[in-house]
Structure 1
């Protein structure tokens, strides 16, 4: 066994060098602008509170107490441009107060501002850019949190609604709902908020994809008034598929065949095979739900108050998009560290490869230098990302 000794020095180290990119994204998104709306309280800027919690989310942490580990962490404070790092109690109290003042309405614009200024890649599914909308379950069993109730998956929790744009899965909407709320309830209002964001980010035609939980006469049979006061009815087609199974998923032969009948409503004038293929791609968004719940550690929300948890999900929307942006710009193509080829990287992979990277922090000539030692590959990726984000090229939404 090697002779191992432990030693401490006065050098400043960080295990989260990727915060240098995250802090830059906060600046581009305009997070600091909330200080003009919510002034400093007891010496703590509102933006410091918000950026501290966003920083935790971008590190895969959601619990308030996690911030205590960073109160004396100088790189965390400097890379996120914080004046102060709040305590866990201050973080909880200020988030509850901000949620009561409806900060959620302002946070929704941060993601679209970031994605539009950076000109984030938005890939179409053949002829259309797909906008996937769906609800999912967050299991918060054995808790007395406000809004927790029985969900359609037979567990107690919440059923938030989310919207994802393009094959990259940019999150344009993430709102909390009580567990018992039906999928269709208030979904039209959610769509009215999300569609303008999607239309701002892409000029390509947008295809809305939803599952059967959103079936409604108001969505599929529509009438609109024209100048002569007549009404025009939009007609949609229904595509059907009958599946016969003679064996189960484990290969066990069935005594009698099992039949499954499926149907899809669509306004596209395409062959049935093309419609079915498009909807099969809709299932990809289930992975995005999983990343929010596991990679961002948000399966069990930290607050007992519904409005505060709703604010936390709105903040998670920006954290999700920042990590997704780092993955798309830094971990696909030739710049990517050695990994199998992929069109999109999971958030957990971005955390492991880019965010949780060790570096020596050096202060010299009013600059912060991150020394990665012999880890040249990750240094190159982060350096390229910082250069790419330095001068935004697009137009803010």
Structure 2
């Protein structure tokens, strides 16, 4: 049916008068579905046990849930509490009749120390293990890397270090273990910014491996992907001793013959479009190790930055970017190249952690409080990933890159589709009812999630 032009348009001349009053209105109706999901997995009681040492009048578990609610609705700082203080769904989500102030939240976070933070770290690990167990994955691929978090000049235990975009700013340098198949962050460890990327990596990897072996058994294959900063003798020996496969980038350092091998190579085998390479059994006498290394180069149409071209330019060949990967996997050149390229998916996860879950926010000057904030940020991220895998699972085709096995919506998309929905909290027949405006797409999405939660 064709509609008239007049029925499509309307004239707006006056200004709407803006008034504020006490109304049982919410801007975040989707929090009710998230609350049901968290209660199904007994999160409030598990948080109560993890935050038992950081109590107070409000209760540590309720304040932790309040931080999760803030991150889910899009708030990034404790000061944003003032703007959501009257929302009934946020108060219902965390089980509070009155929301605390930003100062109260900061004082609570400052109660965390290395000892009191350990139960929260273990809770995050257990929740990820639960999600992995439900999926029954045939293998786990773990990406390990560090990321820079800029801080102020007076923040505790923050130092100037590797920060290419803000060289003079102090920073933290947390280390993360990312599960490639699901996008969960298995573990995060905060560090000062003046350490090498591989600092404390052996102990970190040992904790990750031991936790996975204890929960999933020794039959589940474990694969690790890391950049050249983790190409260390102790790391390689640990992975070999624990029976873990790996693919680690290798730097073209002067004490390794990689540049000479690339210069002398005459026959480069095809790997991918514009990429060629070859395998070489590399002996490192300083470490008493023999490694299988893939040396590859990518043809580019421009002059590469320093250390990429390796001074091997010839006019008839053009410009190339050179790289090398040490591996214990029995893969051919194309498969190994795809596998190491899949490591880039963790950058997307880290970017979402910083952009949507406020991982890059420094709420206090206290190192323990800021470390607790990072754990809560990762916890919020992991829970929303598990929520999608349990309620909105859409399998993806298998890929040699070993990336997400299911379609994962970003938090920004999920916030728009699910969380940020206006509603009114009413009481009908003696029961509280959340009423929203009629929208077929939203009704279908809510019904689908509610059905999966009830199953």
Normalization by structure 2: what TM-score? 0.71
Q: CA deviation at 1:15?
A: 0.8
Q: CA deviation at 1:114?
A: 3.8
Please give the secondary structure, in 1, of the residue aligned with 2:109: helix
The corresponding residue for 2:297 is 242
The corresponding residue for 2:402 is none
Report the structure number with the largest CA radius of gyration: 2
Is the alpha carbon distance of 1:118 and 1:167 closer, same or farther for their aligned partners in structure 2, counting shifts above 3 Å?
A: closer
Q: CA deviation at 1:44?
A: 2.0
Normalization by structure 1: what TM-score? 0.81
Gaps of 5+ in 1: 226-232, 335-341, 392-397
The corresponding residue for 1:163 is 177
Q: Deviations over 1:90-118 (max 9, x none)?
A: 11101101x13733211123334445556
The corresponding residue for 2:373 is 312
The corresponding residue for 1:206 is 222
Which of 38, 42, 49 is residue 53 of structure 2 equivalent to?
38
Gaps of 5+ in 2: 1-10, 243-287, 305-312, 396-405
Distance in 1 (CA, whole Å) between partners of 2:433 and 2:314 is 69
Distance in 2 (CA, whole Å) between partners of 1:198 and 1:364 is 49
The corresponding residue for 1:145 is 155
**Over aligned residues, Cα RMSD in angstroms?**
3.2
Does structure 1 residue 193 correspond to structure 2 residue 207? Answer: yes
The corresponding residue for 2:343 is 282
Distance in 2 (CA, whole Å) between partners of 1:390 and 1:238 is 51
Distance in 2 (CA, whole Å) between partners of 1:366 and 1:104 is 42
Judge conservation of contact 2:175–2:191 (CA < 8 Å) in 1: yes
Matches within 5 A, 1:1-397: 1-2=11-12, 3=14, 5-6=16-17, 11-27=23-39, 28=41, 30-35=43-48, 37-38=52-53, 40-41=55-56, 43-97=57-111, 99-100=112-113, 102-115=115-128, 117=130, 128-140=139-151, 142-154=152-164, 155=166, 156=169, 157-199=171-213, 200=215, 204-221=220-237, 236-247=291-302, 256=315, 257-329=318-390, 333=394, 343-365=407-429, 367-389=431-453
Is the alpha carbon distance of 1:221 and 1:163 closer, same or farther for their aligned partners in structure 2, counting shifts above 3 Å?
A: closer
Q: How many residues align?
A: 368
Please give the secondary structure, in 1, of the residue aligned with 2:380: helix
Q: CA deviation at 1:289?
A: 0.9
Distance in 2 (CA, whole Å) between partners of 1:120 and 1:300 is 32
Could you say which structure has the greater relative contact order, defined with CA pairs below 8 angstroms and 6 or more residues apart? 1
Distance in 1 (CA, whole Å) between partners of 2:422 and 2:388 is 18
Distance in 1 (CA, whole Å) between partners of 2:375 and 2:411 is 17
